[in-house]
Homo-oligomer: A and B are copies of this chain.
């Protein structure tokens, strides 16, 4: 049930620049200057204005300001989901750094849907974002055209390709996964499987799979027979996929997971199936989220510096919007965290 808004609360109208100006006996221009470039106005009048501002509880109207100034000091970010520690963590660092430089962050999440991402990008541009942080390269090229036409710079994060002409900060998902896979093959595994996120529309997932295949070819393993199950990122789906993949013939002795969440699911399923890890089967993840080192057994995975990526992305983007330059892409280093979940296969 709801009750009517009390009529005792009149919509006392919100003070505007003009109100402040009137009260301080100056022009609106002067008030504006006090707020935006205080050093351009003499102290005496500035104090008078500031007093008026406080007495009235004035706060500038953002829309009006954006409309007039043609910039917003706002950076937009479109991420697949907030409900994943890696993005949450990276974006938190991203925002902290932006805040330090007087920028505000607008986040939108696309739920891993390409169409939604496109819409969010257009929305953020329309809202006057001065710059955009995007995850991965995969999207309609027309979008980058769109952004270029409106001259809103965009930075790609969580991915890195040497030969791309759009600036990025990230790492090579392919190489990182290949490194991990090489280690697995060195342990002696020949029968492997992979649980991946949907590879259509997710270039990071695709690259990680490619990394496994690359290393497999190097180890002269028949890649075509490798079972690959694509599913969504959740513990539950990781469990299902693992049960399914362990039914394959020959049964894998090592299972690569596209990220730690899936790997945790796999670990859990293994436990339920009475399989011990790594004795019966090795399991690896990707991301090194907190839970990876706490799992039982602890998870072998690829460590990604999410917070550093977020922080540095902010710096790059701020440069892009303030200096109107386009930075060199930066490749971050990942490294492998070898933990108990990976061991040699049973002989």
Residues of A within 8 A of B (CB): 1-5, 9, 11-12, 14, 57, 59-64, 66-67, 72, 81-85, 88-89, 91-92, 95-96, 104-109, 111, 122-123, 125-128, 146, 148-151, 235, 264, 268, 290-291, 294-296, 319, 323-328
Given contacts A62-B123, A63-B127, A235-B290, 10 further A-B pairs with CB under 8 A are A2-B326, A5-B324, A5-B325, A57-B149, A59-B126, A63-B67, A106-B106, A264-B294, A291-B294, A296-B296
Contact A328 B2 (CB under 8 A): yes
Whole-angstrom CA separation of A313 from B91 in the bound complex: 23
Residue in B59, B66, B148, B294 whose CB lies within 8 Å of A63 = B66
A291-B294, A294-B264, A327-B2 as given contacts; A91 in contact with B82, CB under 8 Å: yes
List of B residues within 8 angstroms of A290 by Cβ? 235, 291
Whole-angstrom CA separation of A1 from B326 in the bound complex: 9
List of B residues within 8 angstroms of A9 by Cβ? 148, 151
- 7 closest A-B pairs (Cβ-Cβ)? A2-B325, A63-B66, A296-B296, A83-B92, A62-B127, A63-B63, A63-B67
List of B residues within 8 angstroms of A151 by Cβ? 9, 11
List of B residues within 8 angstroms of A107 by Cβ? 105, 107
Can you name 23 A-B residue pairings with CB atoms under 8 Å? A1-B328, A2-B319, A2-B326, A2-B328, A3-B325, A5-B324, A5-B326, A11-B151, A14-B150, A57-B146, A59-B126, A61-B67, A62-B127, A63-B66, A63-B72, A82-B88, A84-B88, A92-B109, A95-B109, A105-B108, A107-B107, A268-B294, A290-B291
CB distance from A77 to the nearest CB of B (A): 10
Main secondary structure of the interface of A (DSSP, over half): mixed
Whole-angstrom CA separation of A122 from B53 in the bound complex: 14
Contact B264 A12 (CB under 8 A): no
List of B residues within 8 angstroms of A84 by Cβ? 88
CB distance from A165 to the nearest CB of B (A): 10
List of B residues within 8 angstroms of A149 by Cβ? 12, 14, 57
List of B residues within 8 angstroms of A62 by Cβ? 63, 123, 126-128
Whole-angstrom CA separation of A178 from B268 in the bound complex: 31
Whole-angstrom CA separation of A127 from B9 in the bound complex: 22
List of B residues within 8 angstroms of A294 by Cβ? 235, 264, 268, 291, 295
Whole-angstrom CA separation of A149 from B59 in the bound complex: 12
Minimal Cβ-Cβ distance residue in B for A289: B291
Minimal Cβ-Cβ distance residue in B for A95: B109
Minimal Cβ-Cβ distance residue in B for A72: B63
Whole-angstrom CA separation of A149 from B327 in the bound complex: 45
Whole-angstrom CA separation of A134 from B96 in the bound complex: 19
Contact B104 A123 (CB under 8 A): yes
CB distance from A71 to the nearest CB of B (A): 10
CB distance from A337 to the nearest CB of B (A): 16
CB distance from A317 to the nearest CB of B (A): 12
Minimal Cβ-Cβ distance residue in B for A91: B82
Minimal Cβ-Cβ distance residue in B for A328: B1
CB distance from A292 to the nearest CB of B (A): 11
